């Protein structure tokens, strides 16, 4: 069923943005459609997905939604990601498959989903540049790169007259900070847009994993999260949030979202989930500001 949307003027990054990692993996097509409808109705103009999410299911659902919701869906900025190997055959094949699943002629933002040594190869960067020139990619992004990796890639691009990375997407929340001072300085110097994901630490910052990992949760579906968050530093920061929550009366997830959404120089914070209620939490945190709480 079509929904009445408020018309959008042009594609742009919004904060929050909609993270679509759950589509086709944790929520079905109908629920994902409802989530995208709600996002657009509330001013979100930026959706983020990846070829790896649900083994292509997330891209496919977004493509179906785009077709069903036109012309309003054409104003949504959509980012997707491809994984290594980064070589001529695999890059073009991955991009073409994403284009097909997303039902579009051009990918608004294509992220390299993670660093790989192939990024140091001028020929590989040249392939991405050719795809930009051909109109299949509008912007190129780097995801999960550190400052040294991004610096090296940009230098190669500039030395060879290529279009450079225009956006980076890294994990950044109260427990784990992958947007450090070096990344921030580099992005400000090169006018690179910063997108962050996982403001609740895939649920870690709700406190749900303090007593272990239950089946069906994000940490059970993607066990790599446990390696990232199950350490003394992250649990110490969670305890800090819980102490502030106890003193102020604000819920721990609300405080975690508010911290992420109010970080300076961040273009967009991705909010994912399984329900519209989780997006409502983000909107509430975006409107929240208490200097004493942020100082704490």
Question: pLDDT confidence of 159, banded at 50, 70, 90?
Answer: very high
Residue 35 CB: number of other CB atoms within 10 A?
23
Question: pLDDT confidence of 10, banded at 50, 70, 90?
Answer: low
Per-residue DSSP letters for 209-269? TTT---TTSHHHHSTHHHHHH-SHHHHHHHHHHHHHHHHH---HHHHHHHHHHT-TT-SEE
Assess whether pLDDT exceeds 80 at residue 24.
yes
Q: How far apart are CA 42 and CA 64, in angstroms?
A: 20
Please count the structural domains in the chain.
1
* Residue 23 within any structural domain of the chain: yes
pLDDT in tens, 64-113: 999 999 988 999 999 999 999 999 999 999 999 999 999 999 999 999 99
Residue 143 CB: number of other CB atoms within 10 A?
22
Higher pLDDT, 142 or 220: 142
* Residue 194 within any structural domain of the chain: yes
* Residue 295 within any structural domain of the chain: no
Assess whether pLDDT exceeds 70 at residue 2.
no
* Residue 201 within any structural domain of the chain: yes
* Residue 141 within any structural domain of the chain: yes
Assess whether pLDDT exceeds 70 at residue 25.
yes
CA gyration radius for the chain? Answer: 19
Q: How far apart are CA 65 and CA 70, in angstroms?
A: 8
Q: What is the CATH number of the domain that holds 274?
A: 3.20.20.100
What length is written for the chain?
296
pLDDT in tens, 104-141: 999 999 999 999 999 999 999 999 999 999 999 999 99
Q: What is the pLDDT of residue 219?
A: 79
Q: Is 72 considered catalytic here?
A: no
pLDDT in tens, 210-241: 888 888 777 777 778 888 999 999 999 999 99
Token pair recorded at residue 34:
């409802």
Assess whether pLDDT exceeds 70 at residue 5.
no
> Of residues 53, 197, 209, 229, which has the active-site annotation?
53
* Residue 260 within any structural domain of the chain: yes
* Residue 111 within any structural domain of the chain: yes
* Residue 296 within any structural domain of the chain: no
Residue-range definition of the domain harbouring residue 90: 17-206+255-287
Assess whether pLDDT exceeds 70 at residue 6.
no
pLDDT in tens, 233-283: 999 999 999 999 999 999 999 999 999 999 999 999 999 989 999 999 999
């Amino acid at each position: 069923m079509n929904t009445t949307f408020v018309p959008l003027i042009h594609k742009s990054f919004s904060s929050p943005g909609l993270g679509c990692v759950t589509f086709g993996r944790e929520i079905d097509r109908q629920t994902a459609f409802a989530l995208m409808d709600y996002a657009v109705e509330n001013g979100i103009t930026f959706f983020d997905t990846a070829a790896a999410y649900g083994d292509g299911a997330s891209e496919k659902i977004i493509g179906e939604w785009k077709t069903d919701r036109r012309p309003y869906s054409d104003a949504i900025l959509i980012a997707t990601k491809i994984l290594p190997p980064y070589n001529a055959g695999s890059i073009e094949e991955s991009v073409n498959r994403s284009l097909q699943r997303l039902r579009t002629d051009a990918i608004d933002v294509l992220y390299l989903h993670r660093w790989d040594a192939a990024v140091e190869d001028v020929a590989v960067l040249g392939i991405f540049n050719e795809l930009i020139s051909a109109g299949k990619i509008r912007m190129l992004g780097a995801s999960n790169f550190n400052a040294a990796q991004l610096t090296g890639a940009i230098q190669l691009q500039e030395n060879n007259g290529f279009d450079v990375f225009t956006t980076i997407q890294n994990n950044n929340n109260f427990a784990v900070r992958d947007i450090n001072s070096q990344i921030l300085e580099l992005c400000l110097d090169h006018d690179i847009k910063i997108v962050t994901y996982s403001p609740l630490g895939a649920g870690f910052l709700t406190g749900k994993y303090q007593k272990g990992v239950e089946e069906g949760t994000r940490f059970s579906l993607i066990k790599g999260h446990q390696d990232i968050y199950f350490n003394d530093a992250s649990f110490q920061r969670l305890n800090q949030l819980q102490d502030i929550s106890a003193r102020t009366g604000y819920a721990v997830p609300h405080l975690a979202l508010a911290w992420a959404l109010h970080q300076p120089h961040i273009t967009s914070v991705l909010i994912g989930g399984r329900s519209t209620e989780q997006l409502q939490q983000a909107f509430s945190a975006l409107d929240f500001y208490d200097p004493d709480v942020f100082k704490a």
